[in-house]
Structure 1
Amino acid sequence: MNFPSGSCKLRPGMRIILTLAAAVAVAPVWAATEVPVWHTLKGHNAEAFQSLVRAYNSSQSNVKVVERAFDTPEALDQALGSAAKSKNLPALAQIGDSHTLKDVAQRSYVQPFYALQKSSALKNTRWFVSSDNAFIHDARGRLMAFPYMLEIPVMYYNQDAFKQARLVPAVPQRTWMELQGQLVTLANNGSRKCPLTSDLPVSINLENLAAVNNQLYASADNGLKAKGLPSFSFDSTYVRHLSLMISWVRSEIMVRPDAGTKSISRFAQGECAVLMSSSGHIGEFLTRRSLRYAVSGLPYYPEVTRKPGNPFISGAGLWVMKSEKSVTDATVAFLGWLSQPEQAARWYQQTGFLPLTQAAFDATPSSYYAKLGQWRDLVAVYSNKAALTAQGFRIHNYPAIRTRFQKILDSALSGQQPAVTALNAASAEANRLVRQP
């Protein structure tokens, strides 16, 4: 609109119209509901999760997922305690089951995941892991958390190292004694510095020594019975096994297990021929172009069981925090999106965590497994009903017990005490801690 020079006066009606137009121009756009997610994912797996978060945030405008990474589970747990006091909790938090479950489930600020499963976003989802598995399930088989970071221990092997040693077949044997012979050959033919290593000494040498040999880990059906406190009694199988491991370290066909990340890095860089560790490293190892590897099951003792059993599930889930309804609804929408076949299959294939849903497993092509050895078969069994010895365990005070087991095993593998002495001390201390408040 043009006005005569020197004349800028507006009629009253025009002033009102322009004022309203200006008001409309600066009116705020309603912000998306934020869903804070706290996690302890590292490296490749953290990047895979961040990629999914970005994809979700770009796919719609109603919800904005904001992720925050912590260095350790302990740091995250401490932050949760502070956030609960200040009433500034995240919507979701990655927390390990710790084989006690109640320690997390009874927190006042946590709500069980199964209470949200009737929502339209999650209603028809068929979860992959069988409901009789105790990990992240309550006694009635209900999911207490979103089962997103579940993993199992496996045996990784460097295919180039096996070929260089001229081992036929060029795969690790599934019995401990036959594996010993292969490790000697590997040590003498290119893998002297690191024939075998692990970052899971307690899992491999105690917990899953029981499960893979189809034995109970603790009494009272691994603590899953409602009545009676479980107890530990490490028999001759454990004594024999730990004695064997001590001899392997002494003869340098096994690098003494390290609970840190050193052994993972050494295998990833091609230094170690065999690694016993969690399946959650599969995706990371796939990104190493110079590393040709595959996956096998943990070894067993044929004198104890004719057929190896399945190891315990470990890892963590995304626990839902109590929030106002709008945040809970937004959280459910995000979890429903993660559960869709495309996203769930992508997460499984990129990480090595167990499939979130049956659809994710079914959507994974055979080409994915072509270079991964036994990985598909090792995974498939977890959708079926689990044997009692593989359902998991529930032990009061288990984080403290595991810490003591770690120190005692380290002492034995360092040659400071014989196997029988170490195991007697381990069972005595564990049985004392089980009965502490």
Structure 2
Amino acid sequence: MHLPAYDAFAQPLAARVGSAPAVQEIELAHRFDLARTEALQALVDRFNASSKDYQIVLTRRDWQQGAVPHLLVLEGEDEDRFLTGKPRYRPLHELMRSAGVPLKSVRPPLAMTRKPLDGQGRLLALPVGLTTPVLFVNREAFRRAGLDPAAPLNTWQDLQNALGQLFDSGHACPYTVSEPARVMVENLSAWHNVPIIARHGRTDAPAFNGMVQIKHVAMMASWYRARYLHLFGRGWEAERRFASGECAVIAAPSASWAAFRRQTGLDVGVLRLPFYDDFPGAPQNTLADGASLWVAAGKKPAEYRAIARFIDFWLKPENQLAWQRDAGFLPLNAAGMPASTSELAGIDTDNLKVALSQINNKPATQESSASVLVGREGVRRILDEELDYVWADVKPAKEALDTAVARLSALPVR
């Protein structure tokens, strides 16, 4: 998730490492905001300093304009388009095996998005931009309302009580949510260990209209009517409102911590998502989703060998720590875990500690695992459309979720 308010649509940073005529360039295209572009550029600069024959060059552009770049960081609709039709990528596990560089240290958890994996769980791409939703709180707003900003908000009732106190103290926007469908349906379901898909023979169908999902959407609708909850669509507006101090609490991707901490004057805290304590087994685990690094098909063997070296470089613990600290994303493999949870990393990794505590709260089950079907952008868009009818008081929660399931049941699974 990016924050355009902080120059997300600035012009691409020029590569700071010059290249002699004999040095070959490998293009890495992305759409990160300025802060994450700088983090990626720093990683690339360190690699380029050790590479004599090939240099990685960053561009911030649409991969469909011009020749397909060697490397592409993709998520959302960009990734869905890239994966539609004839494969445009070279599978990562195959590339690394051909280059003689092991990928055994990268074991994707069941809670991770299925997009960069094949049917055998092998990596098709490197998940470099993983996040999970957490609660961010404006500590000063909590203190002004007489609340302890360090106290956990374990249940949704706990959060409701805090929001009521914030509202009564004069805070006009106590709570907001970035990516409502992802938070209120996908992760809520996994967090409560309830199914989000149903298996019909060999076909998956959406099944996010169960008791916990209906209860939660109905509760959010009551908060919306009471002005405890304010919603600003699927874009970055909710994060802008929190970053400006307008909203006191936000459920947002864990990686947003980097921008909240470094590009605002707010005293921001991070808490785990609340849960309903009357659902057995909750809390279970949340889901990890986000951008992946894809390798384009049809490139030269020597270029692929250089790409394999770059990916191996990215996976080194010290480079993972820098990426986690500067970009805010989750670790890529077990080597990055100790750095994320180490006190040596300092306050800049509070988001990672909370995010990892959610994802690893309990071993993922069949019900709480990530789904290819529900994780697609088209599915989220339909979910958000139906949720909008709830906020507008046009449909009750059950009707909206039932309708979303009916609309999505015929969609093909990649």
| TM band (smaller chain) | 0.7 to 0.9
Is residue 2:273 matched to residue 1:298? Answer: yes
Aligned to 2:15: none
**How far 1:169 moved relative to its partner?**
6.3
CA contact (8 A) 2:208 2:405 kept: yes
2:39 paired residue among 38, 48, 51: 48
Structure-2 separation of matches of 1:432 and 1:114: 32
Structure 2 partner of 1:68? 59
Pair 42,103 (structure 1): closer, same or farther in 2 beyond 3 Å: closer
Any stretches of 5+ residues in structure 1 without a counterpart?
1-27
Post-superposition offset of 1:274: 0.7
Q: CA RMSD in A?
A: 3.0
Establish whether residue 35 from structure 1 lines up as the match of residue 13 from structure 2: no
Q: 1:369 to 1:248 in 2, by over 3 A?
A: farther
* TM-aligned CA deviation for residue 35 of structure 1: 0.9
Name the counterpart of 1:346.
Answer: 322
**Offset, 1:65:** 0.9
User: Could you say which residue in structure 1 is the equivalent of 2:338?
Assistant: 362
Change (3 A) 1:289 1:418: closer
Which of 208, 212, 225 in structure 2 is aligned with 1:250?
225
Change (3 A) 1:187 1:284: same
Equivalent residue letter for 1:194: C
CA distance in 1, matches of 2:181, 2:111: 24
Give the letter aligned to residue 94 of structure 1.
Answer: V
Counterpart in 2 of 1:8?
A: none
Whether 1:217 and 2:199 are equivalent positions in the alignment is no
Instruction: Tell me the percent identity.
Output: 26
Bigger mean CA offset, 345-354 vs 414-423 = 414-423
Distance change >3 Å, CA 389–CA 102, structure 1 → 2: farther
TM-score by length of 2: 0.85
Q: CA 1:433–1:137 in 2, change beyond 3 Å: closer, same or farther?
A: closer
Contact 1:154 1:295 in 2 (8 A): yes
Residue number in structure 1 paired with 2:91? 112
Three-state SS of the structure 2 residue aligned to 1:163 is helix
Per mean C-alpha deviation after superposition, the further-off stretch among 322-331 and 356-365 is: 356-365
SS in 2 for 1:344: helix
Alpha-carbon contact 2:317-2:335 (below 8 Å) kept: yes
- After superposition, residues 194-273 of structure 1 pair within 5 angstroms as 194-220=173-199, 227-232=202-207, 234-273=209-248
**Which region of structure 1 is more displaced relative to structure 2, 35-44 or 122-131?**
122-131
Aligned to 1:424: 402
Distance 1:248 1:45 in 2: 34
Partner AA of 1:198 in structure 2: V
Partner SS, residue 195 of structure 1: strand
Does residue 333 of structure 1 match 2:324? no
Q: What whole-Å deviation, never above 9, does each CA across 1:213-246 have from its counterpart, x for those lacking one?
A: 11111112xx9xx823323250232222212111
Q: CA deviation at 1:295?
A: 1.5
Q: 1:120 to 1:321 in 2, by over 3 A?
A: closer
Kept after mapping to 2: 8 A contact 1:355/1:361: yes
Partner of 1:154: 134
Q: CA deviation at 1:275?
A: 0.7
The secondary structure found in structure 2 opposite 1:433 is coil
Q: CA deviation at 1:152?
A: 0.9
More deviation, 283-292/202-211: 283-292
> C-alpha deviations, 1:109-164, integer Å up to 9, x for none?
31111112336674266226437845322231211101211111111111112122
Q: 1:133 & 1:280 partners in 2: Cα distance?
A: 15
| Cα separation, 1, equivalents of 2:375 and 2:188 | 21
1:93 to 2:68 alignment: no
Q: In structure 2, how many angstroms separate the alpha carbons of the residues matched to 1:340 and 1:111?
A: 22
Q: Which deviates the most, 365-374 or 319-328? A: 365-374
3-state SS of 1:118 partner: helix
Counterpart among 259, 265, 269 of residue 284 in structure 1:
259
- SS of corresponding position for 1:216: coil
Q: Which amino acid aligns with 1:209?
A: L
Gaps of 5+ in 2: 1-18
SS at match of 2:97: coil
Q: Distance in 1 between matches of 2:35 and 2:265?
A: 16
Residue 433 of structure 1 corresponds to which residue in structure 2? 411
Tell me, in whole angstroms, the C-alpha distance in 2 between the residues paired with 1:382 and 1:173.
17
- Provide closer, same or farther for how the CA distance between residues 398 and 187 of structure 1 changes in structure 2, counting only shifts above 3 A: same
SS in 1 for 2:235: coil
Any idea what SS the aligned residue of 2:203 has? coil
CA shift for structure 1 position 380: 5.3
- Normalised by the length of structure 1, the TM-score is 0.81
Determine if the alignment matches structure 1 residue 388 to structure 2 residue 366.
yes
